[in-house]
Amino acid sequence: MAINWLLLLGWIGCCCWGIGDWTVEARASQGLHVQLPHGGWLIGRHRTTHSGRHMRAFMGIPFALPPVGELRFRAPIEQPGWQGERLAVQDAPMCMQRDPFRRDTKIDGVEDCLYLNVYTPDPVIGTSLPVMVWFHGGGWQCGSGISSFYGPEFLLEHDVVLVSANFRLGPLGFLSTETLDCPGNNGLKDQLAVLRWVRDNIAAFGANAQSVTVFGESAGGASVTYHMLSEQSRGLLHRAIAQSGTYFNPWAQPAHEGVAAGRAHKLTELMNCSQFGDDWSAKLKCLRGKRAEDIVAKLYDMFVWDFDPMIPFPPVIEPEHTGAFLTLRPRDAPLPHGQKLPLMIGVTAEEGLLKTAALLNLPHLMDEFKTYFDQLLPLVLNYDHHELEAQQQITRHIESFYFKAGHNYNKSNHQNLTDLISDGWFVAGVDEYLKLRSKSLSPTYVYLFDHKGAASFSEIFKGGRNEFYGACHAEELQYLFPIGQQLFVSAVPTRQDLQLRELMLRLWVNFARTGDPNPIPGTSNLPIWRPTPTYPVEYARLGSKLDSDGVEQLPPLLRMEVALLQHRADFWRDLKAHLPASRQQRKHNEL
């Protein structure tokens, strides 16, 4: 057969091949060329959603200078831009980290990690699409916003622009000397830089910079509430979704005075940089000369028992200075600007499986927990900063409420133990935030995710593949992002799973468009999700734990209820209210 070599060469020129040392670059469609306000261009790539809908992906976009060398432990510096074209077709690496929740021993990621991704429908019509900015969870010590875990394949079935980003983690992102040498909160300031980048650049992608919804889960959810508090973030977000986290959760609250500096000093000791006494400038210079991998590896040396305290490097109160993100404790701050913003907020029914899945499946951990309960519970639930007498008083109250029948919890009888961790780590803090929101003039939509799916996040936290303990922390993420394609490769979604995924995507996207998760009246048969008018709150229970097989009529996947886990939330509010008065004043009544 004769070959038309001219046609063949023309075809090859439109492809991207690498043959030996010969690389032929592909032509990019015009819609994949985007010019940013600084004059430089991005060349993105074409991708498809779960159903095959076309979208544009611009990946690995730098939003700040690499935080390396002299910029380590400093606030991010805006990326000044570039000339000409920049290829944006693959994810940047994650920020350097060690993952205690999955009990990893390895170090992942790189220090030069301040990049973001932008996903849009293809084609984009006009410049009015709402923006959804995602901040990932992981305790501010692990995770990545631009990994395939949080890909766009589900959300981009709808007309939104999705922005996901990395931010620095662990000691590289949250080390604080409590002085101006290193005031701290650099990971939160990275997020702030993302929001500023969105304000300045997102219109180039066909999106509306005045319609930005920030959403996040766990530490990402707490981050959302911090941006609703910090004056630095005022005007950069217009709606918010806080999933399983607020700044009132004990692990998310700013470290008490002296704690952050003490941990910074311990790090200098571990890294052989403590010989400079109180000279933080010299000690930081020494730390900047060490390998980032060695610094991150020391995270595990900050834990006292198992992986507690859960977050050794949390946010901090900074000394007053230009660029400070947080200078007042949330309970001491004036009513935050975020009170004026619509909010969606909720928890999962068994958040505490983040901890108890491992306790139930690693016998040595459970034995230690039961044997040293009085000593370990204050550490696990973050009330070890109180005097010993107050700690003992709190522990006795907790025992009498959750363990009336004694410490007889096991795999088949763990609900009270899981409820304890759920409430102490998540529910009580979210409840306090809802109480604060009762003063808001903007709508608040509350949910409880309570679903049994084909796969559970308790597997990730050492819970075993074939056992269902409940709706674990992070469980709802697999219905918003294609996480299951990597984490749960052998799980086949049920019909209910698929229906719940479609429901939640519509709710989240509708909220991002209008501040109301409900569709325009008459355009859908979705159940109505009412904002809570009062406290105790009205909330939507999402999902079902009933198996679809053999059940004639399943309950709707969204149903309105009243008083979110109120009996348990009331216990924690009363417990805080009855702490010793002097300690309550000095420690801000924090658990």
Does residue 23 have a pLDDT over 70?
Answer: no
Which helix (H) or strand (E) is 269 found in, with range? helix 259-270
Where a domain ends, among 341, 372, 400? 341
C-alpha 363/C-alpha 361 separation (Å) is 6
Calculate helix-pair angle for 363-371, 373-380, nearest 10 degrees. Answer: 110
- Mean pLDDT is lowest, of 91-100, 275-284, 543-552, for 543-552
For position 6, what pLDDT does the model report?
Answer: 34
Q: Could you tell me the two tokens for 506? A: 């519509």
**Per-residue CA distances from 285 to 97, 168, 175, 258, 291 (Å):** 21, 19, 14, 21, 12
Is residue 351 annotated as a catalytic residue, yes or no? yes
Residue 580 has pLDDT above 80, yes or no: no
Helices first, then strands: H and E counts in the chain: 17, 16
Q: Give me the mean pLDDT over the 240-253 stretch.
A: 98
> What is the reported pLDDT for 79?
96
How far apart CA 361 and CA 264 sit, in angstroms, is 34
What pLDDT, on a 0 to 100 scale, did the predictor assign at position 30? Answer: 77
pTM for this model (two decimals) = 0.93
**Poorest-pLDDT segment among 66-70, 405-409, 435-439:** 405-409
CATH code for the domain in which residue 475 is found = 3.40.50.1820
Identify the pLDDT of residue 9: 31
Q: Does the residue 12 lie in any domain? A: no
User: pLDDT (tens digit, 9 = 90+) per residue, 451-507?
Assistant: 999 998 888 887 777 789 999 999 999 999 999 888 888 889 999 999 999 999 999
**Domain endpoint, select from 319, 341, 363:** 341
Burial of 152 (0-12, 13-18, 19+ CB in 10 A): buried
In the numeric block, the tokens 């091949």 are attached to 17
Residues 437 and 462 in one domain: yes
List the alpha helices (DSSP H) in 56-185. 170-174
| Confidence category of residue 549, pLDDT binned at 50, 70, 90 | low
The amino acid that residue 399 corresponds to is E
- Statement to judge: residues 453 and 516 lie in one domain: yes
Mean pLDDT of 120-124: 92
| 490 plus 384 within the same structural domain | yes
State the Cα–Cα distance between residues 17 and 21, nearest whole angstrom: 10
Whether residues 326 and 373 fall in one domain: no
- What mean pLDDT comes out for the span 11-31? 43
Structural domain includes residue 19: no
Instruction: Note whether 132 and 218 are same-domain residues.
Output: yes
Please state, rounded to an integer, the average pLDDT across all residues of the chain.
91
Longest dimension (CA), the chain: 93
Q: pLDDT above 70 covers what percent of the chain?
A: 92
For residues 334 and 361, membership in a common domain is answered with no
164, 176, 218, 233: which is the annotated catalytic residue?
218
> How does pLDDT run across 360-397, given as a tens digit for each residue?
999 999 999 999 999 999 999 999 989 999 999 999 99
Domain identity same for 355 and 306: no
Q: Which of 16-25, 101-110, 276-285 has the highest mean pLDDT?
A: 276-285
Classify residue 1: in a domain, yes or no: no
Q: What is the pLDDT of residues 493-526, one digit of tens each?
A: 999 999 999 999 999 999 999 999 998 877 778 7
Same domain, 172 and 87: yes
For 301, phi then psi, to 5°, come to -75, -10
What's the CA angle centered on 456, arms 452 and 460, to 5 degrees? 165
Radius of gyration of the chain (CA): 24
Asked if residue 301 has pLDDT above 90, the reply is yes
User: What is the pLDDT averaged over residues 117-138?
Assistant: 93
Per-residue pLDDT at 125? 77
The verdict on residue 433 lying in a domain is yes
- pLDDT average, residue stretch 248-258: 95
Q: Is 218 a catalytic residue?
A: yes
CA distances from 361 to 138, 411, 465, 523 (A): 21, 8, 11, 47
Is residue 317 located within the same domain as residue 433? no
Q: How many other C-beta atoms can be found within 10 angstroms of the C-beta atom of residue 247?
A: 27
Q: Is residue 157 part of a domain?
A: yes
Mean pLDDT along residues 31-47: 97
Identify the pLDDT of residue 36: 98
**pLDDT higher than 60, residue 20:** no
Give the domain-ending residue among 289, 311, 341.
341
Count of structural domains, the chain: 2
- Catalytic residue (one of 111, 178, 350, 351): 351
Q: Judge if 371 and 329 occupy the same domain.
A: no
β-pair type (444-449, 343-348): parallel
Lowest-pLDDT choice from 65-69, 201-205, 458-462, 581-585: 581-585
If asked whether residues 331 and 355 sit together in one domain, one would say no
State the average pLDDT over residues 272-276: 96
For 195, the token pair is 């929001």
What does the chain come to in residues? Answer: 591
Binning pLDDT at 50, 70 and 90, where does residue 590 land?
low
Residue 21 lies in a domain: no
Residue 552 — very low, low, confident or very high, per pLDDT cuts 50/70/90?
low
**Which pLDDT does position 548 carry in this prediction?**
65
Q: What is the pLDDT of residue 551?
A: 58
| Across 550-578, average pLDDT | 89
Asked whether the beta carbons of 587 and 256 are under 8 A apart, the reply is yes
| Token code pair at residue 155 | 């959300």
Q: Which pLDDT score is estimated for 262?
A: 97
Residue with tokens 């979604």: 493
pLDDT (tens digit, 9 = 90+) per residue, 306-362?
A: 999 999 999 999 999 999 999 999 999 999 999 999 999 999 999 999 999 999 999
Only one residue has tokens 């993100």, namely: 325
Three-state secondary structure call for residue 250: coil
Q: Would 507 be classed as within a structural domain? A: yes
Q: Which of 541, 449, 556 minimizes the C-alpha distance to 499?
A: 556
Which one has a higher pLDDT value, 30 or 365?
A: 365
Say whether both 329 and 227 belong to one domain.
yes
Please report whether residue 110 resides in a domain: yes
- Which domain range does residue 503 map to? 347-589
Residues 34-63 have a mean pLDDT of: 97
- CB 310: neighbour CB atoms within 10 A? 24
